[in-house]
């Protein structure tokens, strides 16, 4: 396994760069996922439920803590 | 089926005594536009799949090429364009119009623009259905339509964009739900892709040449082609998934947080992956590596979205068993997962060396198109149409049957293509102990996969039968009800509250961290390998540390930066455009501005086509030869043994558009020039099987009677010159004479073989082109030494 990984790099050392870029992406992506998931899901519950209430605006709005706005 | 759509009189009243600045309104959505697009999608979907089934028949049974205007090379672009732009396009517009109005609590901004959009789009589809069979094409996959139709597409797209953003501006719901983000990304990105890729110089009303040539054109085309899949077939359908799947399952999306990651990662990464269509070609290695890497990165966001869709059904699997709508959605999302797993896999260079140009790619595409797009469309239609007509679905049982025969059809199709693709890929590369090709005749590899072509046809026909069943079911549903437009009570504030300063959003921590990382990564282009490693490390540290610090600084009582952004449509759109453009600029601009080989030097290694060859090339383009033949020999022993020297950038330097192709139903033609005599080509075009028994190539006998207009050749050379092809004014002026001269030479040669040919025949012109591909003509003889003037020769 180790040989299978090292042999292509020994043949073409520049291969390390794209592999590093891929690793970098995965690390940052994982960090981003952790960061996003550090927010409590309740913070998004209202917006996540938007499609379920689109024909019952009055009822839904009454349940909200804030009213909707016009830009 | 006329809708009784009218905006209800606003019933203005205070929502509560404590909120005097709030009022409620009853609005009626404009659902007529959604109804029209639904039925247009179903009708064009059947046409597209009928064309696909017929093209599949032609591959299995060459005699099905009954008419030149419906031969495979012309029918295949018609099939792909109809499937993408007519079937999925209309379906997407139906879903966008229906869901956007409801998600933003506003009726469509302009009915008129909606109608212009609908009829304009149908007009474009009709134009495609007429021009493509007539061979009026730019020969760029999924962008074949000629320049007047391209202009019409741009105009209609702008109408759609204006109506969409205007509706957002009128919205009563401040927060933009995730579906809307995907719609925004679709609208802005498709506009950019279409405009850049369609840039061309018109020669006449129905003929143009791409402003890009050779490798540049290849890169731009596959940047477009890949992202047509990404931003026309994927992002809008993801938006539709995020709206309709929760509606049908009656539960919110599994993870809204995941959808944030899904969206930004997808729109940022997707745009970079185009060059994976050009692996192992003459494209610069840096672009290939970039395309492969970003394709691998796509696994993460794609599967994030797929899991988010599937997990929305958690706890609702009993409903899936009973509800055909959820069945279609669950299977559609699963096919999305399969296709987005397979895509990055195929983008690995070594896998691509096996799969590229084979039917494996065709199977991959159809797994996505039939499974993801087709099933999401079916689920959406079965859910929407009963509501759009205030009734129940006519037959749930028919919808169930549609689901099962559709699924079997897809599986038969993609399994056939997997087997066919891997078989052919293995046969192309098979060598014996001495290193000789085991299957030197291309036809051998074609005969081996022919049973799979019949299996594909059967699978596709099953799928088509399901579509017809759906059309009947939806029609009966509509007939049993009455056009009904949705209504909703919305609450709006009369006076808008103070907004957060836009600078705090645009220069918010996530944007700054991302920008710093990107600057560091872009600096890689100007450094050496050691510096590259350092910059990569630094970018990683900045990104990781920034995210870590933000996590530490989070405050549970404050809205997140993203939540604030979701309330600001304009800023959201600008950031989306930036996220998308970064990839486009990084890939496309270097290839366009970097110094190519000097034109004069390139002219010596590969002279521009002579006039007749250029005419022949236009015939080649018109007949859609690129749909079956590549012109790109990859750097593999098994390719060079079969076809000749590896292709270079200079080979296609003057090709506007490039003709590298993407599929080999027939052999590669990059080094065809001079390989066979003129009489071989003549006979092969008239009756391919007389030369190559077992071939499935259609006969092109009609070219013998088609005539080339020598007088119009000058304009073509002039257009090419304006694109940088080094024709001299003398060459342009002498083009008709040169074309006639070359044609006469070919005709004379054919006569020695007992073939009588007309010099202005299109078959002569295409022979001239085929004899030229990959073969530089001998340099002109050096000028003769000056002859001394004597009395004798002066007298002469």
Chain A CB contacts of B256 under 8 Å are: 41, 44-45, 47-48
> Does pLDDT of A3 surpass 80?
no
CA A48 to each of CA A16, A44, B256, B563, B691: distance values in angstroms, whole numbers, following the listed order: 41, 6, 6, 12, 64
A57/B488 CB distance under 8 A: yes
Report chain A's terminal Cα–Cα distance, integer Å. Answer: 58
CB proximity A47 to B under 8 Å = yes
Rounded Cα distance between B101 and B59, Å, is 45
> Does pLDDT of B607 surpass 60?
yes
CB proximity A33 to B under 8 Å = yes
The minimal CB distance from B539 to the residues A24, A36, A41 is found for A24
> Does pLDDT of B54 surpass 90?
yes
Please, which residues 519-548 of chain B have a Cβ atom closer than 8 Å to chain A?
Answer: 529, 532-533, 536-537, 539-540, 543-544, 547-548
8 A C-beta contact, residue B362 and residue B324? no
Rounded Cα distance between B278 and B762, Å, is 31
Q: Give the rounded percent of residues in chain B with a pLDDT score beyond 90.
A: 72
Instruction: Provide the residue ranges of all domains of chain B, joining segments of one domain with +.
Output: 14-486, 503-567, 602-770
Lowest pLDDT segment from A65-69, B200-204, B768-772: A65-69
8 A C-beta contact, residue B491 and residue A67? yes
Rounded Cα distance between B718 and B575, Å, is 42
Q: How confident is the model at residue A4 (pLDDT cuts 50, 70, 90)?
A: low
Q: Output the CATH code of domain B602-770.
A: 1.10.760.10
Q: How confident is the model at residue A70 (pLDDT cuts 50, 70, 90)?
A: very low
CB proximity A69 to B under 8 Å = yes
CB proximity B13 to A under 8 Å = no
Angle between helix B235-249 and helix B299-311 axes, rounded to 10 deg = 20
Rounded Cα distance between B62 and B692, Å, is 13
B489/A37 CB distance under 8 A: no
Average pLDDT of B706-728?
A: 93
Chain B CB contacts of A67 under 8 Å are: 15, 19, 22, 491, 493
pLDDT (tens digit, 9 = 90+) per residue, B520-553? 888 877 777 788 888 888 888 888 888 888 877 7
Chain B CB contacts of A13 under 8 Å are: 529
Query: In 3D, which of B313, B212, B224, B262 has the Cα closest to residue B583?
Result: B224
Average pLDDT of B455-475?
A: 98
DSSP string, B635-674: S-HHHHHHH-SPP-GGGGTT-SS----SB-SS---TT-TT
The minimal CB distance from B547 to the residues A32, A41, A44 is found for A32
B117 in a labelled binding site: no
Q: Output the CATH code of domain B14-486.
A: 1.20.210.10
Rounded Cα distance between B766 and B774, Å, is 14
Average pLDDT of B134-138?
A: 96
Element (H, E) at B491: strand B487-493
Instruction: Choose from A7, A49, A66, A68 for mutation: most chain B CBs within 10 A.
Output: A68
Lowest pLDDT segment from B111-115, B371-375, B432-436, B665-669: B432-436
The minimal CB distance from A58 to the residues B173, B489, B544 is found for B489
Query: In 3D, which of B766, B756, B746 has the Cα closest to residue B703?
Result: B766
- Residue B646 tokens read as 């590896």
Q: How far is B343 from chain A (nearest CA, A)?
A: 17
Taking one residue from A and the other from B, the number of pairs with CB-CB distance under 8 angstroms is 156
Average pLDDT of B208-235?
A: 92
CB proximity B384 to A under 8 Å = no
B569/A67 CB distance under 8 A: no
State the Rg of chain B over Cα: 29
Write down the pLDDT at residue B515. Answer: 87
Rounded Cα distance between B714 and B288, Å, is 37
Rounded Cα distance between B237 and B252, Å, is 17
Write down the pLDDT at residue B10. Answer: 35
> Does pLDDT of B158 surpass 60?
yes
DSSP B204: E
Question: Which residues lie below 8 Å from residue B596, measured CB to CB, with a gap of 6+?
Answer: B602, B649, B653
Write down the pLDDT at residue B466. Answer: 98
Write down the pLDDT at residue B16. Answer: 41
pLDDT (tens digit, 9 = 90+) per residue, B499-526? 788 888 888 888 888 888 888 888 877 7
Q: How confident is the model at residue B273 (pLDDT cuts 50, 70, 90)?
A: confident
Which chain B residue is nearest to residue A50, measuring alpha carbons? B103
A71/B174 CB distance under 8 A: yes
> Does pLDDT of A69 surpass 50?
no
Chain B CB contacts of A43 under 8 Å are: 559-560, 563
């Amino acid at each position: 396994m180790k040989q299978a990984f090292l042999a292509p790099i020994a043949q073409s050392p520049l291969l390390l760069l794209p592999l590093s870029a891929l690793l970098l992406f995965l690390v940052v992506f994982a960090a981003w996922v952790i960061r996003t998931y550090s927010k409590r899901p309740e913070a998004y519950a209202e917006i996540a439920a938007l499609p379920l209430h689109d024909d019952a605006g009055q009822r839904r709005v009454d349940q909200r803590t804030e009213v909707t706005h016009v830009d | 089926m006329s809708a009784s759509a009218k905006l209800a009189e606003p019933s203005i009243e205070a929502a509560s005594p404590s909120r005097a600045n709030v009022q409620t309104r009853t609005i009626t959505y404009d659902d007529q536009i959604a109804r029209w697009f639904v039925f247009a999608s179903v009708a064009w979907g059947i046409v597209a799949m009928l064309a696909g089934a017929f093209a599949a028949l032609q591959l299995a049974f060459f005699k099905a090429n009954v008419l030149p205007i419906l031969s495979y090379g012309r029918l295949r672009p018609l099939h792909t364009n109809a499937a993408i732009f007519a079937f999925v396009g209309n379906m997407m517009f139906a879903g966008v119009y229906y869901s956007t109005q409801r998600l933003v609590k506003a009726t469509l901004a302009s009915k008129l623009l909606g109608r212009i959009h609908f009829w304009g789009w149908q007009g474009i589809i009709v134009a495609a259905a007429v021009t493509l069979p007539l061979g009026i094409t730019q020969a760029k996959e999924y962008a074949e339509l000629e320049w007047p139709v391209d202009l019409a597409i741009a105009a209609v797209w702008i109408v759609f964009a204006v109506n969409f953003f205007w509706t957002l501006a009128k919205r009563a719901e401040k927060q933009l739900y995730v579906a809307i983000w995907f719609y925004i990304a679709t609208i802005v990105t498709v506009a950019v892709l279409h405009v850049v890729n369609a840039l061309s110089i018109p020669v006449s009303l129905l003929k143009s040449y791409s402003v890009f040539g050779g490798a540049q054109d290849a890169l731009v085309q596959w940047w477009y082609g890949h992202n047509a899949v990404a931003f026309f077939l994927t992002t809008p359908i993801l938006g539709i998934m995020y709206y309709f799947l929760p509606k049908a399952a009656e539960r919110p999306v599994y993870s809204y947080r995941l959808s944030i990651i899904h969206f930004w990662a997808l729109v940022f990464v997707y745009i970079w992956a185009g060059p994976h269509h050009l692996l192992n070609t003459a494209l610069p290695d840096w672009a290939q590596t970039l395309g492969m890497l970003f394709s691998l990165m796509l696994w993460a966001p794609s599967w994030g979205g797929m899991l988010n869709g599937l997990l929305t059904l958690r706890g609702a699997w009993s409903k899936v068993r009973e509800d055909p709508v959820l069945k279609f959605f669950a299977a559609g999302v699963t096919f999305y997962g399969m296709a987005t797993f397979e895509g990055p896999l195929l983008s690995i260079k070594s896998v691509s060396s096996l799969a590229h140009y084979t039917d494996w790619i065709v199977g991959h595409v159809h797994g996505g198109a039939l499974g993801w797009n087709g099933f999401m469309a079916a689920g959406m239609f079965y859910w929407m149409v009963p509501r759009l007509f205030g009734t129940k679905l006519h037959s749930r049982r028919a919808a169930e049957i549609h689901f099962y025969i559709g699924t079997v059809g897809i599986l038969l199709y993609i399994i056939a293509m997997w087997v066919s693709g891997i078989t052919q890929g293995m046969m192309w590369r098979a060598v014996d102990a001495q290193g000789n090709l085991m299957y030197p005749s291309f036809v051998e590899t074609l005969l081996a996969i022919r049973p799979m072509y019949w299996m594909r046809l059967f699978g596709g026909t099953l799928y088509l039968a399901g579509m017809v069943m759906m059309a009947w079911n939806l029609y009966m549903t509509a007939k049993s009800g009455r056009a009904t437009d949705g209504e909703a009570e919305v609450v709006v504030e009369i006076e808008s509250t103070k907004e957060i300063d836009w600078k705090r959003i645009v220069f918010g921590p996530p944007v700054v961290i991302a920008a710093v990382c990107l600057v560091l990564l872009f600096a890689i282009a100007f450094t050496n390998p050691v510096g590259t490693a350092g910059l990569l490390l630094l970018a990683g540290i900045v990104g990781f540390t920034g995210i870590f610090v933000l996590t530490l600084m989070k405050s549970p009582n404050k809205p997140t930066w993203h939540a604030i952004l979701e309330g600001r449509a304009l800023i959201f759109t600008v950031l989306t455009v930036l996220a998308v453009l970064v990839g486009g600029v990084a890939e496309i601009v270097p290839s366009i501005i970097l110094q190519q080989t000097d034109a004069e030097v390139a002219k010596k290694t590969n002279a521009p086509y002579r006039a007749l060859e250029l005419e022949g090339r236009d015939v080649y383009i018109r007949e859609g030869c690129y749909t079956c033949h590549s012109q790109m020999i990859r750097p593999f022993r098994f390719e060079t043994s079969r076809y000749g020297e590896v292709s270079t950038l200079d080979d296609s330097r003057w090709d506007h558009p490039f003709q590298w192709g993407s599929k080999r139903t027939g052999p590669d033609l990059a080094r065809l020039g001079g390989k066979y005599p003129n009489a071989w080509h003549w006979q092969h075009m008239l009756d391919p099987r007389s030369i190559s028994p077992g071939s499935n190539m259609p006969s092109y006998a009609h070219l013998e009677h088609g005539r080339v207009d020598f007088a119009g050749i000058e304009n073509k050379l002039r257009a090419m010159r304006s694109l940088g092809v080094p024709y001299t004014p003398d060459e342009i002026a002498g083009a008709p004479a040169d074309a006639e001269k070359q044609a006469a030479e070919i005709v004379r040669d054919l006569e020695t073989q007992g073939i009588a040919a007309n010099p202005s025949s299109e078959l002569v012109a295409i022979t001239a082109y085929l004899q030229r591909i990959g073969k530089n003509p001998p340099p002109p003889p050096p000028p003769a030494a000056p002859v001394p003037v004597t009395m004798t020769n002066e007298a002469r």
